[in-house]
Amino acid sequence: MLFLQLLLQGLQTGALYALTAAGFALIFGATRIFHFAHGATFAIAGYVFLYFWNAGQPWPGALAAIAAAVVFGLGMERFVYRPIQRHEGSFFTVFVAAFGVAVVVQNLIGMIAGRGFASVDTPLSMANEVLPDVFLAPIFWIAIAVAIVLFVALSAFLTRTHAGVGLRALAQNPDLLRAYGLSSNRLSMLAFALGSAMAAPAAILTAMTTGLNEAVGHHVMLISMAATIVGGVGSLRGAALAGLMLGVAESVALQFVDTQWAEGVSFLVLFAFIIFRPSGIFGVAQTR
Amino acid sequence: MSGPQIARRALLGTALAAPFAHPSLAQATDPYVIGTLFPMSGPNAEYGTLFTNGAALAIEHARADNMLRRPMRIQAEDTQALPQQGVIGMTKLVNVDKAHYVLVGFTAVSKAVAPVADRAKTIAVNGGAVGPDLSGLSPYFWNVIPLAHLETQAFIPFLMGRNLKRIALVYVDDPLGDAILGLLRTELPKAGGELVGSFSVPRTAQQFGPVAARVRQSRPDAVYIASFGAQQAQIIKGMRDNGIRVPLVGYSALSIPTVTAMPEAEGVIFTSQKFDYTGGSEVTRRFATDFKAKYGSDPGTYNANYYNAVRLFALLAKELEAEGAEVNGENLRRTLLRVREFDLVGGKATFDDKGDMSAEIQVNEIRGGRVVPIA
Amino acid sequence: MIAYAANLATIVAIFAILAATLNFIVGYAGIFSVAHAVFFGLGAYAGAQVALLLIPDPLLACLAGAVVAGGLSLCLALPALRVRGEYFVAASMGLQMMAVTLFSEAKPLTGGIGGLVNIPRPTLFGVEVSVLPLALVALALILLATALLQRGAFGRTLQALRDAESAAEALGKNVAAAKTLAMAFACAGAGIGGALFALHLSFVNVESFTMDQSVLVMAMVIIGGTGTLWGPLVGAIILLSLPSGLAFIPFIPPTEVGAVQQIVYGLAMTLLMIFRPAGLVGDLSKGRATA
């Protein structure tokens, strides 16, 4: 029974990881920008929702959280990444700039919203015994449903619409896009808007389950990055699956090892993948 | 350090000291510098604010009472609760600000700062961390908080009395968690209880659902939480959300607003130094009333501890001023060891040779967002 | 004031050692490691154990730090040989996270989260010495070694590697050996920095060897300018004196001091990258490292 319990808990966590990881992977796949401030997007969305929730406005709060995430993502693209890339900024220049923004956001949240733990208080996160000794919260179903709906919608968008196909092509050949009259700038903004929006539902659900603190973005960022690599760069499906897998691994590991090692498991998986299968689960062969 | 700034600071000192300056001590208008080495940013910044509030109130009270001839002022240095920043801040306080007395919090910072305090013969006082490894770091390093093993020791009879015999421990594997683990392991069986499981969690861990599943499996009567900061709130929520209905218990680190304000923390039982804000000593009652008036909330353990730390300085410095002796580390230490017993918030507190304070322990319960003493 | 300045200078020198050695692999070999604090930590633990168990001889401590960190650099050389670019960054982050868990758990060696306390003051030939001159000498030697290596055949191999790895391989350069050696040199240097850090602070614990520290060192290199000799030094001075400098500003309310410091520090990183992406010392007109 312990195994089933851990598996279910892992799925819940994994669904949230999958959402943020997919957002990160979408941005990274399309623009090759290592959006290290994705965690900051997550934190902003979570705290915006929290603010509205406390004011008794959950639904407008969800919309505001998504809007805030999109605005922040677009702002990063327009005012940080694009000027850097104009100078042919290296991958690492982008990384440091984004890291600086993440530091600023974390401290601004601390100053404005207060430091320490904050959570949305809802009966949805309270688990009930569904089977003997197996506890499940209503939010489990919500997390799974939200993840499935968003992934179906996203893949429909990427395969069926003009803009979606363009987004996928952006990663492979920006010049070709230009020949077809699509603006790579506009597509890159689209990638940031969509990818950032994906972080908002996960942030809202996290505010309900584990709760937030001003440094919450850091962990989110590491997991998203690990999932993107393990899934195979450029593959949304891979990132989502890897996010789910990391969540499950972290949880199920407790069946076999002591609790203090749970966090290390994700990174062990990441490290093993990089050494033994650097192309990830779905990735194309990666050049050295 | 610019010239104008020094001048400005001196002027400020004069203005504050003017109403009660002693005519024969013309040069003694510079304020006493109380340095603080608290986390003002980063994940533990909440504590920095709590610590500072308590210290600031003590300075106000000392001024209102004309306790000292010279005013006191706080010089804050941010440590982010990291040892390296602590040492940088401490050397600045000692050498640039010429701090008379330094307040520290957090185990790692305290341990990093203690050698600097020792070499500079400047008193550093801890009122936040309760790891037993903080005892006897230096003659110039004192603790104005009863260290945690004393709390746990005093807690066991209470748990047995409530028939909470099977205890599971969720802890951070630092010297503090380690000490609590050791105590529960040896002392519980003697009292008729049992430690049924111990679950170490990394300091940065945020997901406690899976841990809760493991805890549940050990079938405890109560879960002892030995962590600190925001993580405690996450542990409590993680346990309650994931089917743990038995009482959650812990030590004084739980006494922060983040924890007490959360609905999941209802019924959490924890030990702390004894503070009777309604029926206690005059110092205690005044502290509670004025704290509430100034900050709009009931004081917590940490507010009281750092209030006490500054009050202790004021009491010692008062003695030294009366003697006509210089207020420095050596003289402060000498006076502490001579007087030993002080009237602080919570009642009489006594210090041992190492500079560790012992005080009575009480058991509290969180009820409706408030900390209520129950034993 | 002098003691304060000396303490700050010691910390700056130690971090300059870290930044300079990281710059060696980032700037000259194109290996972007976010795990430099791991090797800093290994050196610190090794140096501290030597001082605690044997004698507080700083030279011996530095040697131990260099050997342990340099030897274990193989852990990082392994992924470096397999992948590059953002993949390697991710691998090094993974290593960094695992190392923090191990540092916290390997209590007999590292003291766990409690750390190692009462590390004796360093003595050289029976005389107690300050860490500052040692750190300055170590920094000078490392900068000298970097300059020499960079000009020699080894440096040219590395730069060829950075700019076009497959071409370098085709030209018959031993890529694997060059990468491994560069990594060992850089990590050994970080180990020396760690040993000095342990002796200077008399106390070490895992909190000094986290991912944040790795990123801080990386930021020093980038802000100063990758692939330049003096850039890392400039970066170290700026990033370390920035918070200390802010601490002198009197009008910030005490409860917000830290947050304001962090915000200024974060903004500086971002703005520098936007307006001077080659770093302060780096020359924009010349070719520069790209991942």
Higher pLDDT, C226 or B365: B365
DSSP for chain C? -HHHHHHHHHHHHHHHHHHHHHHIIIIIT----S-HHHHHHHHHHHHHHHHHHS---HHHHHHHHHHHHHHHTHHHHHHHHH--THHHHHHHHHHHHHHHHHHHH-HHHH-GGG-B--PPPPEETTEE--HHHHHHHHHHHHHHHHHHHHHSHHHHHHHHHHH-HHHHHHTT--HHHHHHHHHHHHHHHHHHHHHHHHHHHS-B-GGGSSHHHHHHHHHHHHHH-TT-SSHHHHHHHHHHHHHHHHTT-TTS-GGGHHHHHHHHHHHHHHHHHHH-TT-SSS-TTS-----
pLDDT at B8 over 80: no
Residues on chain C touching A80 (C-beta within 8 angstroms): 270, 273-274
> How many angstroms separate the Cα of B3 from the Cα of each of A14, B177, C4, C241?
58, 48, 18, 20
Tell me if B3-146+280-359 shares its fold with B149-276+362-373: yes
Nearest Cα residue to A50 out of A42, A40, A61, A41: A61
- Specify the amino acid at residue A72: F
Mean pLDDT over all residues of chain A? 86
How far does the CA of residue B275 sit from the closest CA of chain C (Å)? 26
- Fill in the DSSP letter of residue B23: T
Q: How far is B350 from chain A (nearest CA, A)?
A: 33
pLDDT of the residue at C93: 84
B266 and chain A: CB distance < 8 Å anywhere?
no
Q: Check whether C8 has a pLDDT greater than 60.
A: yes
What's the confidence (pLDDT) of residue A17? 93
CB contact under 8 A, A259 and B238: no
Residue C289 has pLDDT above 50, yes or no: no
Alpha carbon of A133: minimum distance to chain C alpha carbons (Å): 31
Residue C8 is nearest to which of B74, B88, B175, comparing CB atoms? B88
Determine the residue of chain A that is closest to B242 in CA distance.
A127
Q: What is the ipTM of this complex?
A: 0.86
Is the domain B149-276+362-373 a CATH 3.40.50.2300 member? yes
Q: Picking from A89-98, B79-88, B255-264, B268-277, which range would have the lowest pLDDT averaged per residue?
A: A89-98
Q: Are C275 and C221 in contact (CB under 8 A)?
A: no
The two three-digit tokens of residue B168, written as one number: 């599971």
Rounded Cα gap, residues A9 and A90, in angstroms: 39
The predicted pLDDT at position B17 comes to: 38
Domain boundaries, chain B: 3-146+280-359, 149-276+362-373
User: Contact C214/C36 with Cβ under 8 angstroms?
Assistant: yes
C residues 203-262 near A, CB within 8 Å?
Answer: 215, 218-219, 222-223, 226, 256, 258-260, 262
Whether the predicted pLDDT of B225 surpasses 80? yes
What are the tens digits of pLDDT across the range C210-253?
888 888 898 888 888 877 888 889 989 888 877 666 666 666 66
Residues of chain C found within 8 Å of residue B133, distances taken between Cβ atoms = 114, 117
Tell me the average pLDDT across B190-210. Answer: 90
Query: In chain A, what residues touch B253 (CB-CB under 8 Å)?
Result: none
Q: Which pLDDT score is estimated for B43?
A: 65
Per-residue pLDDT, C2: 76
Q: Is B300 a residue whose pLDDT tops 70?
A: yes
Domain ranges of chain C: 2-210
CA distance A260 to chain B (A): 5
CB contact (8 A) between residue B210 and residue A254: yes
CATH topology of domain B3-146+280-359: Rossmann fold (3.40.50)
Q: How close, in Å, is residue A5 to chain C by CA atoms?
A: 25
pLDDT digits (tens, 9 = 90+) for C20-37: 999 988 877 778 888 999
B46, B207, B241: residue with CB nearest A13: B207
Q: Does C270 touch chain A (CB under 8 A)?
A: yes
Query: In the prediction, which pLDDT does A174 show?
Result: 66
Q: Chain C partners of A98 at a C-beta cutoff of 8 Å?
A: 270
Residue at A106: amino acid letter: Q
Q: Mark which residues 70-109 of A lie under 8 Å from B by CB.
A: 107
The domain segmentation of chain A, as residue ranges, is 2-113+174-276
Tokens read off for B192: 């008729």
CB nearest C4 (choices: B76, B85, B91): B91
Min mean pLDDT across A8-12, C174-178, C189-193 is at C174-178
More confident call, A62 vs B349:
A62
| pLDDT bucket at A272, cuts 50 / 70 / 90 | confident
Count of B–C CB contacts within 8 Å? Answer: 116
Average pLDDT, chain C: 83
Residue C170: per-residue pLDDT: 66
Does A132 contact B at CB distance below 8 Å? no
- Give per-residue pLDDT as tens, C63-114: 999 999 999 998 888 887 777 777 788 888 888 988 998 998 888 899 888 8
Determine contact, residues B339/B319, Cβ cutoff 8 Å: yes
Top pLDDT among A286 and A92 is at A92
